[in-house]
Amino acid sequence: MLQLPVYLDYNSTTPCDPRVVEAMLPYFTKRFGNAASRSHALGWEAEEAVELAREQVAGLVGAEPKEIIFTSGATEGDNLAIKGVFDMYASKGNHIITVVTEHKAVLDTCHHLEKSGAEVTWLQVDKDGLINLADLEAAIRPATVLIAIMYANNEIGVIQPIREISAIARRHGILFFTDATQAVGKIPVDVNADGIDLMAFSAHKLYGPKGIGALYVRRKGPRVRLTAQMDGGGHERGMRSGTLNVPAIVGLGMACELCRLEMAADTLRISPLRDRLEERLLALDGARINGSRQYRLPMVTNISFAGVDGDALLAGLGKNVALSSGSACTSASMEPSYVLKALGLDDNLAHSSLRLGLGRFTTAEEVEYAIGQIGKMVGQLRANSPSKLA
């Protein structure tokens, strides 16, 4: 039976897989020990659970367990990676290269560092949302210490040419960091094959709990060093002090293990549903896809409906279909999406856009219902618009 509202905002967050919840529950009650308490059985048990989770997380992304640092989420991971590199490698230089369509956690971190003396190059993207590799290489200076470019965009799903980017970074002896929050658990990500030096991601984007994430920090070829941004106790190889959130870490580990085992099958099932949704919605007059259709995630689409007010569209759908117009981190703003503006959309078209994200629990019945609801609401809004009445 169809349950309302139909959820199509998987880029914002995912429901916890019941198997993840089941794995976490004992660590709230019976196995409640502190993983840093190494003098008794409850502490040993908690530490063992944390290290198993570290292996599971590493296994999903091709890393070594010791290269995984647990954080509170991708925002903290972004901050630790970028600020940690900037501080640690200050003697080498103060220049960072990033992209105008990055998540706010990267953009705002770079803006913060500019106040501390960093010089930041903000690369533009083309109409498909992709960077120009020649522009990237041309931006490199002797003082460049970090290239920070996201793996897949949170609003349009566009996947950047990660291996080509990392090859440029390696050629110039520069560290490469990627916010892979939207990619890990959805598409194959391998830190060694991809040439990544630092990578942040979050559990709640891959069917795990909120408030937990991981930062991959390469240990060799090159060995990456970071200045800690939080002091006290020296947890997580001295990079991230604080009592470990054992239940959430167990949840992240289980979520990563399930993605490792089921990601390919999930994609095979979800991708045709996304294509069906897209095909039907593009049949509406004035509908267009934003971003590359070739280089993108298989479970998300971003569509503009010309002549339709996006806020009114979302308000009309809100009770029956849960979706968004862009990043949940900036959705409170009335400004049009800066990502869509970077692609060249004008304010009106950017305001008329919906981001539709599908996931593990999306059904064909839900997709058909959403198609009908969106089509109906677009038709009503167009019929009532001043331009239509004139």
For 113-162, the pLDDT digits (tens) are 999 999 999 999 999 999 999 999 999 999 999 999 999 999 999 999 99
Q: Give strand pairing partners of 235.
A: none
Interatomic CA distance for residues 58 and 257, integer angstroms: 10
Residue 90 lies in domain: 18-257
* 10 and 52 assigned to the same domain: no
Q: Looking at per-residue confidence, does 310 or 283 come out higher?
A: 283
pLDDT of residue 38: 87
Q: Which of 16, 110, 256, 329 is catalytic?
A: 329
Angle between helices 246-282 and 364-384 (to 10 degrees): 60
The answer on pLDDT for 331 being more than 60 is no
pLDDT of residue 241: 86
* 212 and 268 assigned to the same domain: no
The amino acid at 124:
Q
**For 215-240, what is each residue's pLDDT tens digit?**
999 999 999 999 999 888 889 887 89
* 195 and 222 assigned to the same domain: yes
* 232 and 270 assigned to the same domain: no
Closest to 129 in 3D by CA, of 332, 320, 293: 293
In the block, tokens 């999903």 appear at: 60
Q: How many domains does the chain have?
A: 2
pLDDT of residue 388: 47
Interatomic CA distance for residues 317 and 329, integer angstroms: 20
The answer to whether residue 329 is catalytic is: yes
CATH number for the domain spanning 375: value is 3.90.1150.10
| Predicted TM-score of the model (pTM) | 0.95
Interatomic CA distance for residues 217 and 215, integer angstroms: 6
CATH number for the domain spanning 162: value is 3.40.640.10
The amino acid at 321:
V
Asked if residues 102 and 148 have their Cβ atoms less than 8 Å apart, the reply is yes
Which whole number is the average pLDDT over 331-335? 60
The CA-atom distances, in angstroms, between 169 and each of 66, 67, 93, 166 are: 23, 20, 15, 5
pLDDT of residue 325: 83
* 178 and 288 assigned to the same domain: no
Q: Does residue 194 lie in a domain region?
A: yes
pLDDT of residue 220: 96
Interatomic CA distance for residues 96 and 80, integer angstroms: 14
pLDDT of residue 231: 87
User: Phi and psi dihedrals of 229, rounded to 5?
Assistant: -105, -5
